[in-house]
Amino acid sequence: MFRKLIIAGATLAALTVPTLAASDWNVIKGNRPSSDNQSSLCFVADRAAAMGEEQIGGPFKSQALGLDAVKKYAACDAPNHS
């Protein structure tokens, strides 16, 4: 009886973990980590935008779809040099 319970629990965990690990990809515009605070860049990340960043698009099901979207957003066209 206990053995069947362990097998059932392991099976449930094996089917649940990949679903929980699947994440959405977002296009984020943030400050470039340099001394030039006026420049910014767009990147694709498997997280939400943090403080000081702006989420431009998403969620996307894959990183490749997010990278394709970066090319289409006007906010990501060119670095903001002033």
Residue 39 resides in a domain? yes
Residue 65 resides in a domain? yes
Q: The domain containing residue 32 runs over which residues?
A: 23-82
Q: Mean pLDDT across the stretch 11-35? A: 71
Residue 8 resides in a domain? no
Question: Per the structure, how many domains does the chain have?
Answer: 1
CB atoms within 10 A of CB 6: 9
Residue 12 resides in a domain? no
Q: What is the pTM of this model?
A: 0.58
Q: Mean pLDDT across the stretch 38-56? A: 83
Cα–Cα–Cα angle for 16, 67, 34, rounded to 5 degrees: 105
Residue 13 resides in a domain? no
Residue 3 resides in a domain? no
Residue 18 resides in a domain? no
Residue 6 resides in a domain? no
